[in-house]
């Protein structure tokens, strides 16, 4: 597997500044990412960010059912890697359904193919072996150097914990995109999609003792918004990655700007990836959290004990804010980098 890109003079000015900031914070060694994804449009953008960031090496992608079925998520992951010229990164197929529930998809948000109804030609093949086995192997080999990033429902992570919790606990960091720190949901009044799809898995993960950071949908809704001008600047850059990002988010743009934020699109998975790539862009607070599994109106809710009323010690670091301008600069620089 190839190393990540060189940190040299060909970086865009904005990205050079971001990198300098990271180096100043002590992030001066190669970082290893394992990305678990239910690959739809915003997942694809997040994956491209990680692949473009200097000093980060994406060891593998693992796929899970969520936005689309797991087979489509796998095809979309391979297409994203192809656009980036990185089909050397293996893609392992994971869970096709939640732990105990029927699957719920988000094709109304991302299109029937998950990538804006573009129906790209299939490229590449998934790797031999399953997502859980691959995750355990990579964590076992790399331990504290590895950041495990979960962009979709937490089914694969929960299954890995069930298979070998001791190995899972060796991961240096687990960053979860899911829930909403302010309790505002996007599929029920309080439930965010990723945790709604498999709340039992999410509950097992947050209660596991893993070193977890959570970036909720509230962060995307407030701090990771892009407007039409930003999208048009991406397309005008002429960069294939930027054009791909523009094309696959067309359905997401139409949905988000009509339903949630007139004239804007929220980017949940890219906001989580930005917080993984540059933690100093985010404000983190230790909190005890749990996940609601039974509530008719609250299934999938990330229940945050902000005031310490349970008496339980914090089990996650919760992202409370993301530098909105820093996020947009980072996103543009990474999607337009060569």
Q: What whole-number distance in Å separates Cα of residue 205 and Cα of residue 211?
A: 10
User: Are 67 and 114 in contact, with CB atoms under 8 Å apart?
Assistant: yes
Note if 142 is an active site residue.
no
**CB 272: neighbour CB atoms within 10 A?**
31
User: Are 133 and 165 in contact, with CB atoms under 8 Å apart?
Assistant: no
The residue among 330, 328, 86 whose CA lies nearest residue 224 is 328
Q: Which helix (H) or strand (E) holds 7?
A: none
Ramachandran angles phi, psi of 287, nearest 5°: -145, 150
**CB 238: neighbour CB atoms within 10 A?**
9
Q: How far is CA 264 from CA 117, 221, 226, in A?
A: 20, 10, 5
Q: What whole-number distance in Å separates Cα of residue 144 and Cα of residue 172?
A: 4
Q: What whole-number distance in Å separates Cα of residue 227 and Cα of residue 265?
A: 6
Per the document, the length of the chain is 338
Q: Which of 142, 260, 261, 306 is catalytic?
A: 261
Locate 55 and state its tokens: 């000093």
Which amino acids are annotated catalytic? 261
């Amino acid at each position: 597997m190839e190393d990540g890109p060189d940190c040299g003079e060909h970086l865009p000015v904005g990205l050079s500044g971001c990198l300098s900031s990271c180096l100043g914070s002590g992030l001066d060694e190669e970082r290893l990412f394992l990305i678990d994804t239910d690959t739809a449009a915003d997942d694809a953008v997040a994956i491209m960010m990680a692949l473009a960031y200097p000093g980060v090496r994406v060891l593998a992608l693992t796929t899970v059912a969520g936005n689309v079925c797991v087979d489509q998520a796998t095809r979309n992951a391979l297409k994203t890697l192809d656009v980036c010229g990185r089909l050397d990164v293996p893609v392992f197929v994971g869970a096709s359904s939640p732990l105990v529930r029927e699957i719920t998809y988000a094709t109304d948000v991302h299109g029937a193919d998950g990538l804006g109804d573009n129906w790209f030609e299939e490229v590449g093949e998934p790797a031999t072996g399953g997502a859980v086995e691959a995750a355990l192997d990579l964590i076992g080999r790399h331990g504290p150097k590895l950041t495990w990033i979960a962009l979709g429902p937490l089914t694969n992570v929960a299954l890995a914990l069930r298979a070998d919790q001791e190995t899972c606990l060796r991961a240096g960091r687990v960053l979860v995109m899911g829930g909403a720190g302010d309790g505002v949901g996007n599929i029920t009044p309080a439930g965010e999609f990723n945790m709604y799809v498999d709340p039992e898995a999410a509950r097992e993960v947050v209660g596991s003792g893993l070193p977890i950071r959570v970036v909720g949908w509230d962060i995307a809704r407030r701090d990771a918004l892009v407007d039409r001008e930003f999208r048009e600047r991406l397309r005008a850059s002429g960069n294939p990655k930027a054009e791909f990002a523009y094309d696959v988010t067309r359905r997401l743009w139409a949905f988000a700007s009509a339903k949630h934020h007139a004239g804007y699109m929220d980017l949940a998975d890219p906001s989580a990836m930005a917080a993984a790539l540059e933690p100093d862009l985010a404000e983190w607070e230790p909190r005890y959290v749990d996940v609601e599994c039974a509530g008719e109106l609250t299934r999938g809710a990330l229940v945050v004990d902000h005031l310490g009323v349970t008496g339980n010690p914090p089990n996650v670091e919760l992202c409370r804010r993301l530098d909105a301008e820093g996020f947009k600069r980072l996103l543009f620089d990474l999607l337009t980098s060569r």
